[in-house]
Each structure stands twice: as structure tokens, then as C-alpha cells.
Amino acid sequence: MRDFYEEQLNELHTQMIAMGGLCEKAISNATKALTDGDLQLAEEIMKNDAIINRQERDIESLCMKLILHQQPVAGDLRRVSAALKMVTDMERIGDQAADIADIVLDMNEKLPDKFLHVCKMGVAAMKMVTDSVNAYVDGDLELARHVIRDDDIVDGLFLKVRGEILDAIRDGSSKGEEVLDLFMITKYYERIGDHATNIAEWVEYSITGERSNEN
Amino acid sequence: MRDFYEEQLNELHTQMIAMGGLCEKAISNATKALTDGDLQLAEEIMKNDAIINRQERDIESLCMKLILHQQPVAGDLRRVSAALKMVTDMERIGDQAADIADIVLDMNEKLPDKFLHVCKMGVAAMKMVTDSVNAYVDGDLELARHVIRDDDIVDGLFLKVRGEILDAIRDGSSKGEEVLDLFMITKYYERIGDHATNIAEWVEYSITGERSNEN
């Protein structure tokens, strides 16, 4: 019975790492598709989103089974319930990468050079996702707390891009559609940063039993 | 033991209804604050968001306790696990109402009359939230399915508002800040519709054991 329990806990860990890896790939590909105007890559991201969605359900089922049949206590219970909540944030990261890919397909051209900070935002958000997944994998509390602090960088870049977009509206140098599309992309990156922060907070909780943030 | 179990299940139901009620109020107040430019109401929404966040945590704890100590089976387990996931969507609805309130505070004026469809979107999204909560409270499968269909109305209105905003950029009749603020508000309403749809899908699952949508 205990062996089977350990096996299921390991299986959960493995599935979480796999799902985290897919999310990382989704966001790094989304930024690549955006900067290169790579439509084929954008299509691929949208297809892979279905896999991420399925993985969320599989992990949810596994967590429910573990809680119900194995009745984990203390640290193990925290790990399982944190996983149950983290997958929601991971799935949203996948959704937002797909939303960015959808806009790339619609724009049908690569990111104009003048919107340099959008790309920087993509890189910063990607780092947060990678770090939050690694913090989970390694149970690294310091790294988790680092991710939570990094959210300020992404939020700062968001304000910079917003300024660039307002300039483009004012001087009429971009079409309205382009402006709204870019604004949505920056908003998606900002949200990805928020989800990575949530994941890091769940890692913190699963290690310490405390939740630092009330948002 | 069973009496205590029933009591906890009833407590969960009561808390879910209370949280649903707060979300309904948040979104209806957000639309009112936006159309009237009511800054005091906007402040109130932002304060109440903390209450919604706390409620999410309380319900999560109650669900975990129920699953762990009472080991519910079949229909009851579906109800508890659906509640555990639904609160995430409810909490996001609260967040988005607070995001709208935040923009209202920033705009410091009421919604310009020409953006009529933004208000219509608010009303349609609010109806979806109210209906999804009622579908949960009454275990009403038909109403849940109605909510899922209603999402098309909100999505249709989103495209209309987007068109109005593009017109405003093209003819220069609105400031850039106003345009971006309004676009975000419409995006928040669209997301609120998505969250209400998720809630309705969880209601459907808790009644039928089937999940209709893979998104």
C-alpha cells in the first residue's frame, strides 16, 4: 500500500515536471513566433495547448485519487493540494501563450522593431515561468521567492510598452489593429508573470506551510 | 460523524452561495461605477476584493478537510471537487471587477456615451455570473447550459466594442489612454464571461459527472 502511495506521489511529481516543461516551451515559442513572425510555430503552440489542457485534467484526477485513497498528511498533503492549485496557473500560462500565438497568426507579420520592450517582457516572463517550475522541481524556496520579486520587472516593462503604444497612437505611426494587438500581448505577458508568481507562492506554501500573499 | 459530515457539506454550500453573491455584487457595482463614473463605489469594490480572496481560501480549506476526513464518494465528491475548482473562477471574477474599478478610478470620469456597447457587455457578463451562481445553488442543469451558450453574446459584443475603439483611434476622437483603458475593460468583461462559463461547466460536471468542454 505504501509502495503504491510512493509510486503515485512520484508519478504526480513526474507529471508536474512534464506539464511545467510544456508551459515553458509554449511561452518561449510564443515569444519566438512573435519576434520572427513565424506562423507555423504559432500554429504549433495552439495545437499543443490541447495537450496542456488534458494534462491539467490528468493531474487533477491523480491528486483527487491520492487525497481520497491515500489520505496524505502534513507535508505530503500540502504538496498534493499545492499541485492541484498550481496546475490551474500552469494551464492559464498555456492559454495565454496560445492567445499570443493567435494574435501572431492574425497579425501575419513580425513584431515591429520599435516595440522592443514587448520582446524584453516576453523574455522576463519566460524566465519567471522557468524559475517557478524549477523551484517546484527542486523544492527551492529561495528561487521561489526570487520569482515573486521578479514580478516587479515584468510590471515595470508593461508600463514602458504601454508608453510606447500611447506614442504610436498619438503620432499615428501604427494602425489601430496593430496597437490593440500589441497591447493585448503585453497584457498576456503581464498575466503570465502573475501566474508564475502564483506558482512560486504555492511552492513556498508546500515547503513552509505558509502563504505569503493575500491576492 | 455523518451528522457532522452533512453539516460540513451544508456549510460548504452556504459559503459558496455567499461567495457567489459577492462576485455578482462586485461585477454589477463595477458596471455601475463605470457608467456613472462613481469613484466611491469603485473604491468599495477594490476593498471588497480582499473579502472575496479570503473566502476563496476558507472554502479551499473546508473542501480539503471534507475530502480528507470524510472521504465523500460519487456525487458528494464531485460536488466538493467542483467547488474547489469553481472558487478559482469566482475569485478571478472578483479580481476582474476590481481591475475594472481600478481603471474607473484612473479615468476619473464616466463612460463616454459613444461606447454604448461596453455597458451592454457589462450587463451581459453580469447576467452570466448571476445565472451560473443560480445554476449552482439550484443544481439547475438547463440554466448551466444556457450560460455556456450565452458566452457567444458576450464574445459578439466584444467584437463590436473593438470596432468602436478602432474607429476612435482612426478618427482621433479619443485620447490614447482612454482607448487602451476601454479596451482593457472590454477584455475583462470577456474574461468574466469565460469564468462564468467555467463555473457553469463545473455545475454541469457536478450534476452529470461529465465535462463538456476541453478548454
A64 contacts chain B (CB < 8 A): yes
Residue B15, all three cell numbers: 459559503
In chain A, which residues have their Cβ closer than 8 Å to the Cβ of B67? 64, 67-68
pLDDT tens string, chain B, 215 residues long: the values are 568 888 999 999 999 999 999 999 999 999 999 999 999 999 999 999 999 999 999 998 898 888 877 777 778 888 888 898 899 999 999 999 999 999 999 887 788 887 878 989 999 999 999 999 999 989 999 999 999 999 999 999 999 999 988 888 888 888 888 889 999 999 999 999 999 999 999 999 889 887 765 44
Q: Which of B64, B66, B186, B194 should one mutate to test binding to chain A, selecting the residue with the greatest count of A CBs within 10 A?
A: B64
B88 contacts chain A (CB < 8 A): yes
Please tell me which residue of chain B has the smallest CA distance to A187: B184
Q: How far is A137 from chain B (nearest CA, A)?
A: 23
Q: What's the CA gap between B133 and B69, in Å, rounded?
A: 27
- Whole-number percent of chain A with pLDDT over 90: 63
Residue A147, all three cell numbers: 520569482
What angle in degrees, to the nearest 10, is found between the helix axes of B176-208 and B74-107? 170
B84 contacts chain A (CB < 8 A): yes
Q: Which pLDDT band holds residue A213 (cuts at 50, 70, 90)?
A: low
B141 contacts chain A (CB < 8 A): no
Q: What's the CA gap between A104 and B29, in Å, rounded?
A: 35
In chain A, which residues have their Cβ closer than 8 Å to the Cβ of B166? 176-177, 180
Interior/surface letters B91-128, b for 16+ CB within 10 angstroms, e for the rest = bbbbbbbbbbbbbbeebeeebeeebebbbbbbebbbbb
Delineate the domains of chain A, giving CATH numbers in brackets.
2-208 (1.20.58.220)
Given its phi and psi angles, is residue B38 left (phi above 0), alpha (psi -120 to 50 degrees) or beta? beta
Tell which residue, A67, A162, A28, has the closest CA to residue B179.
Answer: A162
Q: To which residue does cell 505530503 refer?
A: A76
Q: How far is A5 from chain B (nearest CA, A)?
A: 15
Q: How far is A86 from chain B (nearest CA, A)?
A: 11
Contact A179 B169 (CB under 8 A): yes
Q: Which of A67, A80, A89 should one mutate to test binding to chain B, selecting the residue with the greatest count of B CBs within 10 A?
A: A67
Q: A128-168 pLDDT, tens per residue?
A: 999 999 999 899 999 999 999 999 999 999 999 999 888 88
B77 contacts chain A (CB < 8 A): yes
Please tell me which residue of chain B has the smallest CA distance to A182: B180
Mean pLDDT of A55-61: 92
ipTM: 0.75
